[in-house]
Amino acid sequence: MLAKTLAAFASAVCLCCPAFAADQAPASGAGAANPYAGNIVRLSMITVDPAQLDAYKVMAAEVGRESMKREPGVRVLYSMQEQKDPTRFYILEIYASEAAYKHHIQTAHFQKYKQGTLKMVKDLQLIDCDPLVPEALIKRENVP
């Protein structure tokens, strides 16, 4: 039930809102380019073998941390586990560009995750999205 609700939410949230984008003020000065215009935004919906949940969580956490630490083009890699169905995981991925995404999937830490989880992942859905507020990235306030 929650997976269907989230999928419907993702479909709704991933719709483009051109009227809002047209009203958005330039980043700095008249005519300044939107620094987020080239972002690649994706929601990954993953179902994992129940017997391998702990191992999957370790792999997902590691690739998320390494990607955020080592790749300037990875803006967000935020992994979540569904509470009502712990076999369901969601990853919000935001890359600065198509080139940043292509670089990410070639890195050693991503390849380790991908190869290491092949038999753990029972279903994978990738939903490409258009952000409604592209400049609203996750903030780090008062976090060491």
For the stretch 32-81, pLDDT in tens is 678 888 899 999 999 999 999 999 999 999 999 999 999 999 999 999 99
Whether residue 20 is contained in a domain is answered as: no
pLDDT for residue 19 is more than 70: no
d(CA 84, CA 117): 22
pTM exceeds cut of 0.85: no
**What total number of domains does the chain contain?**
1
Tell me the CA distances in angstroms from 135 to 25, 36, 38, 51, one per residue in order.
11, 6, 12, 39
Whether residue 27 is contained in a domain is answered as: no
Find how far residue 112's CA is from the centre of its chain. 18
Whether residue 121 is contained in a domain is answered as: yes
Q: What is the CATH number of the domain that holds 72?
A: 3.30.70.100
Q: Let me know: does 78 contact 43? Beta carbons within 8 Å.
A: no
Whether residue 85 is contained in a domain is answered as: yes
Whether residue 117 is contained in a domain is answered as: yes
- For the beta carbon of residue 112, count every other beta carbon within 10 angstroms: 14
Find how far residue 120's CA is from the centre of its chain. 19
Structural domain containing residue 104: 2-11+37-129
